[in-house]
Amino acid sequence: MIGDACNTKILRISNYLTFNGNKVTKAFVQPITRDGNQSEVNKRGICAGGASRRAFKLITTEIVLQPTSFCNLNCHYCYLPDKDRSHRMDPEITRRVCDHIRKAEEPTLVLWHCGEPLSTGVPHFRSLLEPFEDDLIRSKTRHLVQTNATLIDEAWCELFKQYNFQLGVSIDGPANLNTRRLTRAGHETHSKALMGIELLRRNGLKFSVIAVVGKESLKSAKELYLFVRDLGAEMLCINIEETEGINRSQVITADEARGFWKALYNSWEADMGISIREFSKLFNSMDRIVKTDYELDGSYRTIEMIPTISTRGDVVVLSPEFLGMEKQSQSFVVGNVLARSLEQILKSATDYWYVRDYATGIERCRKECQYFVFCGGGYASNKYFENGEVSSTETHFCRNKDKALVEAVLEVMEHE
């Protein structure tokens, strides 16, 4: 387990793994320690007590689009405030987004999410995709859709192939672990999701799985892993269930989370049948720790803005979960693409209260938390929804997702 000294970057990584396709290489790594002196970045960059927003570079390589606010399911842990309303996005909004992508320096990942995108219907979804037909836009855009898979049919598969979509399917494991993903009438959704996945497979479409792990599935890591592997997914992504408001009935302890990660790691290590997003991310961080000086290269000071655009053109940044949320009288909306260009909106977003607060929170995390090199400062939405402040630091989410994961994997490695 990682120790407690604050002036130490990483106390001990006795060995680590580099994931390289299906090959795993073990390497011995010398302990990396800090002498406690203030780093160059610290001296030049951010003052104590607050982050200068000029010290952070804001980038946009990912845009989230909400083609519809509606979802055909009613999962117990859903956070979407407007999932009962069937607003659909106007194609004028995707035209505005394409104007932005045309001028962007970096390729853009467009994630269709925030509601069940497939409940938009194929004809309307095609009208939203029309502006992306332009050759230049096509060459600069990758599409990813996050779906519950219950509405997939041949027409959707055709569309996915035509636009080369990457697919993320939400399913929590075998039927006994998927009991909180229900229809609006309260019926199970597992069989329909499996039918949708079968159609993807028959059409040669690759997909990843995102599984939410709650109290009831914490002891079923192996079952979950084997299910997703045998489903034919390329990658398993784990979301440990997040704490909502004052509801403590579903609070998962760090011990429970560590137990889950250890069991998942052991199951995965036995055959490495598929990638697991969280392990790949962890190994990348380990590589970076070993090969670079994370503090001095300043890469932690790049903030991905992730503009999320609602069906009406409203833009929130940093976390899609901010759509439709308000902090007292303040809104998270930083503009509307029907009124101003996305480029202008993103430029002025640097003046927005929660972007400044987030930068402050990252700087606090960097100073206070030795897991920062793995985590990079956490998610704005978790900090806000759990602690009431975007500028805060530790959350249940980061304890269970980032810290418990690092501790569990290092512990397993140390005993090998």
Name the site residues for ligand SF4 (rule: CB under 6 A): 365, 369, 371-372, 375, 377-378, 393-394, 398, 402-403
Tell me the closest approach of the beta carbon of residue 382 to ligand SF4, in angstroms: 8
Of 387, 373, 382, residue with least CA distance to 400: 382
CB 17 within 8 A of CB 24: yes
Tell me the closest approach of the beta carbon of residue 152 to ligand SF4, in angstroms: 35
Tell me the closest approach of the beta carbon of residue 303 to ligand SF4, in angstroms: 14
Tell me the closest approach of the beta carbon of residue 372 to ligand SF4, in angstroms: 4
CB-nearer residue toward ligand SF4: 263 or 398: 398
Q: For 339-416, where are the alpha helices, taking DSSP H only?
A: 342-348, 353-368, 372-375, 380-387, 396-398, 404-414
- Helices 91-103 and 122-129, packing angle to 10 deg: 30
CB 119 within 8 A of CB 89: no
- The β-bridge partners of 326 are 331
The angle subtended at Cα 58 by Cα 52 and Cα 63, nearest 5°, is 145
CB-nearer residue toward ligand SF4: 141 or 370: 370
Query: What is residue 60's three-state secondary structure?
Result: coil
Tell me the closest approach of the beta carbon of residue 415 to ligand SF4, in angstroms: 23
Give the burial string for 236-274 (b: 16+ CB within 10 Å, else e): bbbbbbbbeeeeeeeebeeebbbbbbbbbbebbeeeebb
CB-nearer residue toward ligand SF4: 314 or 394: 394
CB-nearer residue toward ligand SF4: 292 or 348: 292
Joined together, the tokens standing for residue 407 give: 């501790």
CB-nearer residue toward ligand SF4: 171 or 365: 365
CB-nearer residue toward ligand SF4: 229 or 258: 258
Q: Which residue is nearest to ligand SF4 (CB)?
A: 378
CB-nearer residue toward ligand SF4: 82 or 386: 386
CB-nearer residue toward ligand SF4: 46 or 193: 46
Tell me the closest approach of the beta carbon of residue 113 to ligand SF4, in angstroms: 22
207: enclosing H helix or E strand = strand 207-213
Tell me the closest approach of the beta carbon of residue 219 to ligand SF4, in angstroms: 24
Query: What is residue 244's three-state secondary structure?
Result: strand
CB-nearer residue toward ligand SF4: 126 or 399: 399
Tell me the closest approach of the beta carbon of residue 215 to ligand SF4, in angstroms: 21
CB-nearer residue toward ligand SF4: 184 or 367: 367
CB 325 within 8 A of CB 333: no
Tell me the closest approach of the beta carbon of residue 370 to ligand SF4, in angstroms: 8
CB 313 within 8 A of CB 338: yes
Query: What is residue 385's three-state secondary structure?
Result: helix
Burial zone of 328 (CB within 10 Å; 0-12 exposed, 13-18 middle, 19+ buried): exposed
Tell me the closest approach of the beta carbon of residue 110 to ligand SF4, in angstroms: 27
DSSP assignment of 29-49 equals ---B---SPPPHHHHHS--TT
CB-nearer residue toward ligand SF4: 212 or 369: 369
Sole residue written with tokens 């060459």: 139
Sole residue written with tokens 């001095």: 296
What does the alpha-carbon distance between residue 346 and residue 350 come to, in Å, rounded to a whole number?
Answer: 7
In 231-322, DSSP assigns E strands to 235-240, 275-276, 302-304, 308-309, 314-316
Tell me the closest approach of the beta carbon of residue 9 to ligand SF4, in angstroms: 13
